[in-house]
Amino acid sequence: MRRLTEQVSKEKLKEEKLKRDLVLLEAALYVAGRPLDLKTLCSVLKTRSKRKVQKLARMLIEEYRQRNTALEILELEDGRFVMQLKAEYTPMVRRITTRPLLPAGPLKTLSYIAYRQPVKQKQVIEVRGSHAYRHIKQLIDAGLVARERVGRNIILKTTPYFADYFGLSHDIKIMKKQLRSLFETFGSQMQSKG
């Protein structure tokens, strides 16, 4: 009898620890507002086992899938995890966000770079104007764009952080298709408002 009580008690503790770990993982992903790697998530749970954390994160993904809420947790191609608003809800709540990631000018420059990448900085400046130098610096500082010197040219392209932040593929061909679709959707929404 005593042995059975000890076994039940151990299982109860194990179950409580699992719940606590899932809640901590959820809190970390929520507060971060960006993708987190396994190393970071391990530090939150105070463990070295990346396999354990990955398993817990995948459990959380499934739990969110079953909840059927506006939020989702995704495992990205590079093994990081992110909590985000499902894409279909973004247009409905966009107007109440407190502050955009970027002002309109840099956002237009970012859109151009993302759609034309890899693109020469010179071409971006010709199309967007000399103020785009300032935009490019902002985008690089924000970690959304990378700059690479190739011979005499400076080539601009988006970073993996850009893809993760906007929920786009890391594959440039697929990303461009996704962007084209977004631009078309946005364009038709703007026409219906005007």
Q: Phi/psi at 56 (nearest 5 deg)?
A: -65, -45
Q: How far apart are CA 99 and CA 88, in angstroms?
A: 20
The structural architecture, per CATH, of the domain 104-193 is: Orthogonal Bundle (1.10)
DSSP 142: T
Q: What is the pLDDT of residue 191?
A: 60
Q: What is the pLDDT of residues 140-187, one digit of tens each?
A: 988 899 999 999 999 999 998 888 888 788 888 888 888 888 777 766
Q: Considering the chain, what percentage of its residues have pLDDT values greater than 70?
A: 89
What is the domain partition of the chain in residue ranges?
2-88, 104-193
Q: What is the pLDDT of residues 61-98, one digit of tens each?
A: 999 999 988 999 999 888 889 998 888 887 788 777 66
The answer to whether residues 137 and 154 touch, using CB atoms and an 8 Å cutoff, is no
The structural architecture, per CATH, of the domain 2-88 is: Orthogonal Bundle (1.10)
- Residue 71 forms beta bridges with which residues? 85
